[in-house]
Amino acid sequence: MQTCRRELLDRTLIWNQRHLLHALREFESFYNRHRPHRALGQAAPLRPLPAPITEPGQISRLEVRQRDRLGGTLHEYQHVA
């Protein structure tokens, strides 16, 4: 609850109940499918950790793509294949 309040509701102006429910659904999806959790070894609860990068050549050409959610309140990052 506190994480939702701190990361979403304190930064968002909620217009009505429909907007609140949409924002909460988006945050729930982000929290469970993307956001890394320290207690889980930086994995998300519904997603396993990606394979570690062990080849130095892969690190030099590492590209990351950012996707904004909820108008930029939440940010998702992923490696580009």
Picking from 41, 18, 44, the residue whose alpha carbon sits closest to that of residue 30 is 44
User: What tokens does 17 get?
Assistant: 């109940």
Which string of DSSP letters, residue by residue, matches 29-49?
A: HHHHHTS-BGGGTSBBTTBPP
Q: Note the pLDDT tens digit of each residue in 33-77.
A: 777 776 777 677 777 776 777 777 767 777 788 888 887 887 777
Q: Where are the alpha helices (DSSP H) in 1-81?
A: 2-7, 17-33, 56-60
Residue 50 to residue 52: CA distance in whole angstroms: 6
Select the more confidently predicted residue: 14 or 58.
14
